[in-house]
Structure 1
């Protein structure tokens, strides 16, 4: 029996609660409350928002232990844009067509890109994260690795609560504090969230019209132009000058210039005879996929600086349109 007791105690010691007491964290929360109070957040709201908030070890672990192995695009794109997700995207596009069409016209963003962002960010609202946003952000600010960033996001989240867009108990998101069906950080919510259904609240958690309008507003403010698409996968000649690759402003060239440098469509045909600048990218090594991308792709990179993210959204948008 004593052996069993020893084993149980060892097992208990090995279990790390994702939410735990942490020396100094409670005092740190006091400083967050003081800063928020000076910014005009009410004591009543602060009491609700920080009720039962504790240090969340799992949020810190997630922040510090990002996956090291990166898939190639040939591996990643089929996983990020599987056939079942394409089928769902098309079905939801049809179901919400009237709302998407109106929002697309208002913000001059093609609806298929709104749906694609929705699908990549949260699997059409199914995967929004279950973390208490205030708890996660407070934890990451206290951790100190990116204190200024997460402290600012904590203040933005409290502002959202003070404005009444959602109740503190319902403000859920990812370990990093990204929220809702479009996974906005609180500062992005402040800058881009829209009341799409005109009910007085910006609800990116449950209200699709708000999700769509907020995503479209973000893209529009990021420079989106619905006259054009995002880009295309291309063939590049062996030995191309690799200093030409990249998304810096000085690396933009016209399609006719890329044509003279030997860049072709995937079927080997000439590039479109359109007067538009494009950037050549090859996110993997010199043998990986290559793309010519337009300014709309740059708008997607403002949403998320990952080429893998931007290409997943772009490929899903093309599948919605072309099959």
Structure 2
């Protein structure tokens, strides 16, 4: 067999990789899909042919995007963590990210005080929370966003593991272009198709982006006032409760099981206090919070800081479905406004497992009757507490987090 033939066989054998001649065929299928499937849907949503053609001028498939499934192939191989939100908790709160978001956030709080105050009056969402999201999503607009949104969403809509979802987002992006909220050159996105400084997916832009500077456009790419107003509107529309905090770092005594974690196991905050949970700073819980619902949050199980959070924490989580993300936003917001320091308890050396490894553990727990929230390879609260319940059933202290040493026992 020739060297060329051997290399061709190797390429075909790799999941998600197509040889050059196959890619040309797939590219032709992609262009046909745009014309036959995407254009009719876009037209039905009021998108003109001129806008459609302009959006896809020169656009080809981006083979470097993750989770692609070319026609005729199947997804395969161990899934690594692509998003930091789903990796090691300690790494997510690295010194540079936390300090940088805090330092620049304080500058932005002064520079955009009027816009932040106006949005807080209109939505009830504190400016510090808006700053926390803005900083995490785009470094307050300073992080370059270079991807062509139509290339990203076109590629992922045509051949990804979530093709239907991304096709819907592609149609929404075309509607945004039709409405003229931003010139074509500004329609840049993340590798996942998220837009502008607040990193809205296109469908969320259509629902929640608003004009904050009075020019009748919601320009989340270039306007800080529009960005601030849009983030505040998103949180308000998702149920932000004015007057309540997002949460408090706490000490959880050994007598309180980590299996009590989760938004479906809430208690009045006074009830958590009666169980012996106290704030790490030695202060009492605010009197205004004692009657409100609180929820135990232990994002690294017994291997990191613990929190009693309010319903507002889960509003933050709606922005990006990650406990670590919501925690980062609340923490940075507190540092910006109140000058707070680090969490008093550090993060243990946990996390970093492949999603495929965690998924194996989840399936084993499901076979035992545990509700892990789906075997998706992500250690969410249902997985964490299921691990704790499994440990307690074995007579072991509950740590409530997947660890490498568990792989042989949970198969």
What SS is found at the alignment partner of 2:296? strand
1:266 counterpart = 2:280: yes
**In 1, Cα distance between equivalents of 2:273 and 2:58:** 61
**In 2, Cα distance between equivalents of 1:67 and 1:56:** 17
**In 2, Cα distance between equivalents of 1:80 and 1:108:** 30
Aligned to 1:6: none
Q: Unaligned stretches of 5+ in structure 1?
A: 1-12
Question: Which of 89, 94, 97 is 2:105 aligned to?
Answer: 89
The alignment's C-alpha RMSD in Å is 2.7
- Which runs of structure 2 are paired with 1:110-125 in the superposition (5 Å)? 110-125=126-141
Q: Unaligned stretches of 5+ in structure 2?
A: 1-10, 12-18, 70-78, 340-411
Question: Which of 34, 52, 55 is 1:29 aligned to?
Answer: 34
Question: Which of 66, 71, 79 is 2:81 aligned to?
Answer: 66
1:128 to partner: Cα distance = 4.8
Give yes or no for contact 1:49–1:169 (8 Å, CA) kept in 2: no
1:269 to partner: Cα distance = 5.1
Give yes or no for contact 2:246–2:330 (8 Å, CA) kept in 1: yes
Give yes or no for contact 2:68–2:161 (8 Å, CA) kept in 1: no
What SS is found at the alignment partner of 2:64? helix
**In 2, Cα distance between equivalents of 1:202 and 1:36:** 21
Aligned to 2:407: none
Aligned to 1:203: 219
1:38 to partner: Cα distance = 2.5
Deviations 1:94-123 (A, max 9, x none): 111112111211111111111111101100
**In 2, Cα distance between equivalents of 1:234 and 1:281:** 10
Give yes or no for contact 1:80–1:312 (8 Å, CA) kept in 2: no
Aligned to 1:312: 328
1:239 to partner: Cα distance = 4.0
1:228 counterpart = 2:244: yes
Aligned to 2:151: 135
1:46 counterpart = 2:52: yes
**In 2, Cα distance between equivalents of 1:87 and 1:98:** 19
Deviations 1:279-307 (A, max 9, x none): 10111132321111011111101111101
When the two structures are superposed, what TM-score results if normalisation uses the length of structure 2? 0.70
- When structure 1 is superposed on structure 2, of 193-202 and 66-75 the one drifting more is 66-75
1:255 to partner: Cα distance = 1.1
Number of equivalenced pairs:
310
What SS is found at the alignment partner of 1:35? helix
Change beyond 3 A, Cα 1:120–1:108 = same
Change beyond 3 A, Cα 1:127–1:112 = same
When the two structures are superposed, what TM-score results if normalisation uses the length of structure 1? 0.88
Question: Which of 164, 178, 181 is 1:162 aligned to?
Answer: 178
**In 1, Cα distance between equivalents of 2:223 and 2:231:** 13
**In 2, Cα distance between equivalents of 1:193 and 1:277:** 30
Give yes or no for contact 2:251–2:280 (8 Å, CA) kept in 1: yes
**In 2, Cα distance between equivalents of 1:66 and 1:302:** 20
1:185 counterpart = 2:190: no
Give yes or no for contact 1:156–1:187 (8 Å, CA) kept in 2: yes
**In 1, Cα distance between equivalents of 2:117 and 2:334:** 17
Give yes or no for contact 1:107–1:216 (8 Å, CA) kept in 2: yes
Larger RCO (alpha carbons 8 Å, 6+ apart): 1
Change beyond 3 A, Cα 1:262–1:60 = same
Change beyond 3 A, Cα 1:75–1:51 = closer
1:61 to partner: Cα distance = 5.5
1:169 to partner: Cα distance = 3.0
- Which runs of structure 2 are paired with 1:7-18 in the superposition (5 Å)? none
Question: Which of 261, 267, 289 is 1:253 aligned to?
Answer: 267
